[in-house]
Amino acid sequence: MLPTISVTKVVDGLGFGDGAVSFAEQAAIAGNEDLADRIDVIVHDANILTPVDAKAHDDGCGDGRAVATRTGAISSKVNGDVQTFGRSLHRPKVFGGGAMMATAMRIGTSDHQEALTDLFTDTIGELQVAGIDFGGHTHEDAEAPNSGCGAIDEAPAVIRAAGKYRDQITAVILQLVGTPEDTAAMQALTANLDTVFTRFAVMEQHIGGYQGATTMQAITDAGKVIKELAGVHREVCILLNMVPGYTVDQGFFRAQTDDRAQTFAVDVWRMQLLAKALYQDVQAQELALLSEFVYTLATASVLTVGDLPVYVINK
């Protein structure tokens, strides 16, 4: 049974970004004149959420594109042997998958001098030791040095964007998780954000010879499920889901627009779960979660022009 949901439009657009994905561009296409109204109807439909599959112990990315239809588009490599799967499970979604979010958390919770590729590799090992499963995706047209996952391929640009759009990202996070009437709490939240941004700035100096394809290969070699996506980006909104155990049904969104549009999706409860699983100290958990938010919003600024409406889904 699907939960009764409460949906709030946070903003009509983040208002910052240098990417190519654009609501206005999609709305200008013939046949999409009613796009804004259609989006509002779809995101308020309870079917926008679907239960996470019981067998899906990992996570994936919030990319709105569909899984490729070719045989073997969903696979994992274990002990050198590639296993393929016949259907795509509904798994939680965070930008870049759990390995990306865990790397963002490591950036924001302590100062690092190692290159970004090494940080990713160490983080993947940390996740495996902790018994936390995660996954990823590629794209049918991706070629080295890219993997096809924007949140991973554009990691250097995302880290730099965190600094470039620090004030705008801060304002959005304070709106999402702040409690304005609690002055002390807001001051503490702002101080923690300052710490996270300072550490992201330090990471800018240690990008090194980073390549997204190398990071995806490390995820593949860890035996994780990788989905190959197809088609072009047609995302027209960003959905932040707060309902544990459920994820945004991007297939439903695409079907309701006759494949005219897609949605980025982020399961915030998964971000919270990852922060608590990797950090025991409450202060560290707070910094870790804020690091995930910073990376998520900075990713949006790299992939989009900043005009996609943002919705929050609660029970």
- Is residue 123 domain-resident? yes
- Is residue 191 domain-resident? yes
- Is residue 221 domain-resident? yes
- Is residue 1 domain-resident? no
Q: How many domains does the chain have?
A: 1
Per-residue pLDDT at 1 exceeds 80: no
pTM here is 0.97
**Of all residues in the chain, what percent carry a pLDDT higher than 90?**
95
Q: Which amino acid is at 159?
A: I
One-letter-per-residue 3-state SS of 251-264? HHHHHHCCCCCEEE
Mind giving me the DSSP string for 99-167? HHHHHHHHHHHS---S-HHHHHHHHHHHHHHHT----EEEETT--TT--S-HHHHTHHHHHHHHHHTHH
How far is the C-alpha of 69 from the C-alpha of 81, rounded, in Å?
A: 21
The set of long-range contacts for 117-120, using a CB threshold of 8 Å and a minimum separation of 24, is 117/208, 117/209, 117/210, 117/211, 117/214, 117/215, 118/208, 119/203, 120/215, 120/218
Report pLDDT digits (tens) over 218-255: 999 999 999 999 999 999 999 999 999 999 999 999 99
How far is the C-alpha of 122 from the C-alpha of 201, rounded, in Å?
A: 20
- Is residue 199 domain-resident? yes
- Is residue 233 domain-resident? yes
- Is residue 109 domain-resident? yes
- pLDDT class for 104, splitting at 50, 70, 90? very high
- In the chain, DSSP assigns E strands to 6-11, 49-51, 74-78, 81-84, 136-139, 226-229, 235-241, 246-248, 262-267, 310-314
